[in-house]
Amino acid sequence: MAADAPTPPVFETSWTDGRARVGRLATAHGVIDTPAFVAVGTQATVKSMTPGDLVDVGQQAIFCNTYHLFLRPGADVVAAQGGLHRFMGWDGPIMTDSGGFQVFSLGAGLEGGVGKLGSIFPGEGGMRRLKAGPSFVRVTDDGVQFTSHLDGSRHFFTPEVSIGFQQQLGADIILAFDECTSPLHDHAYTAAAMHRTHRWAERSLAAHGGGISRHGDRQLFYGIVQGGWYPDLRAESTRFTAALGADGIAIGGSLGQTKADMHAVLDLTVPLLPADKPRHLLGIGEIPDIFAAVERGVDTFDCVAPTRMARNAGLIARDVDGERLPRFRLNLRNARYKNDPRPVDPACPCALCAGFSRAYLHHLFRCDELLAYRLATLHNLTAINRLVAEMRSALVEGRFQALRADWLGAGQETV
Nearer to a second copy, 130 or 353 (CB): 353
Q: 114: Cβ–Cβ under 8 A, 6 or more apart, which residues?
A: 101, 104, 105, 108, 180, 181, 182, 254
Can residue 148 be called a binding residue for a second copy (CB under 8 A)?
Answer: no
Give the SS3 label for residue 75: helix
Interface with a second copy (CB under 8 A), residue from 3, 370, 396, 410: 370
**Positions in 269-298 near a second copy (CB under 8 A):** none
Smallest gap from Cβ 145 to a second copy, in A, equals 24
Nearer to a second copy, 354 or 410 (CB): 354
Interface with a second copy (CB under 8 A), residue from 1, 110, 243, 367: 367
- Give the separation between CA 17 and CA 38, rounded to whole angstroms: 23
Query: Which helix (H) or strand (E) segment is 145 a member of?
Result: strand 144-147
Can residue 128 be called a binding residue for a second copy (CB under 8 A)?
Answer: no
Can residue 349 be called a binding residue for a second copy (CB under 8 A)?
Answer: no
Can residue 374 be called a binding residue for a second copy (CB under 8 A)?
Answer: yes
The 8-class DSSP code of residue 83 comes to S
Nearer to a second copy, 363 or 386 (CB): 363
Can residue 362 be called a binding residue for a second copy (CB under 8 A)?
Answer: yes
Can residue 363 be called a binding residue for a second copy (CB under 8 A)?
Answer: yes
Max Cα distance, the chain (Å): 63
**Positions in 11-50 near a second copy (CB under 8 A):** 43-45, 47-50
Nearer to a second copy, 281 or 364 (CB): 364
Can residue 364 be called a binding residue for a second copy (CB under 8 A)?
Answer: yes
**Positions in 71-100 near a second copy (CB under 8 A):** 72-73, 77, 80-82, 87-89
Using CB under 8 A, which of the segments 152-160, 210-218, 257-265, 357-365 binds a second copy? 357-365
∠ CA 143-141-266, nearest 5°, is 85
DSSP 353-403: HHH--HHHHHHHHHTT-HHHHHHHHHHHHHHHHHHHHHHHHHHHTT-HHHH
Q: 118: Cβ–Cβ under 8 A, 6 or more apart, which residues?
A: 257
- 390 neighbors 403 (Cβ within 8 angstroms): yes
- 15 neighbors 395 (Cβ within 8 angstroms): yes
Nearer to a second copy, 34 or 66 (CB): 66
Smallest gap from Cβ 368 to a second copy, in A, equals 10
Kindly name the residue from 97, 178, 247, 299 that is annotated as catalytic: 97
- Gyration radius of the chain over CA positions: 21
Is 302 among the catalytic positions? yes
Smallest gap from Cβ 27 to a second copy, in A, equals 21
Can residue 375 be called a binding residue for a second copy (CB under 8 A)?
Answer: yes
- 26 neighbors 10 (Cβ within 8 angstroms): yes
User: How distant, in Å, are the alpha carbons of 104, 115, 134, 188, 385 from that of 111?
Assistant: 10, 9, 9, 19, 36
- Give the separation between CA 288 and CA 69, rounded to whole angstroms: 31
Q: 366: Cβ–Cβ under 8 A, 6 or more apart, which residues?
A: 333
**Positions in 192-251 near a second copy (CB under 8 A):** none
Q: Which residues of 315-330 are buried (b: 16+ CB within 10 A; e: fewer)?
A: bbbeebeeeeeeebbb
Smallest gap from Cβ 348 to a second copy, in A, equals 16
- Give the separation between CA 126 and CA 3, rounded to whole angstroms: 35
Nearer to a second copy, 65 or 190 (CB): 65
Give the SS3 label for residue 276: coil
Can residue 366 be called a binding residue for a second copy (CB under 8 A)?
Answer: yes
Interface with a second copy (CB under 8 A), residue from 145, 257, 331, 357: 357
Is 97 among the catalytic positions? yes
Can residue 304 be called a binding residue for a second copy (CB under 8 A)?
Answer: no
Interface with a second copy (CB under 8 A), residue from 152, 210, 322, 341: 341
**Positions in 319-338 near a second copy (CB under 8 A):** 338
- Give the separation between CA 23 and CA 32, rounded to whole angstroms: 8
Nearer to a second copy, 75 or 193 (CB): 75
- Give the separation between CA 352 and CA 262, rounded to whole angstroms: 34
Smallest gap from Cβ 369 to a second copy, in A, equals 5
Kindly name the residue from 178, 302, 340, 345 that is annotated as catalytic: 302
- Residues labelled as active-site residues: 97, 302
Interface positions with a second copy (CB under 8 A) = 43-45, 47-52, 72-73, 77, 80-82, 87-89, 338-339, 341, 351, 355-357, 359-360, 362-364, 366-367, 369-371, 373-375
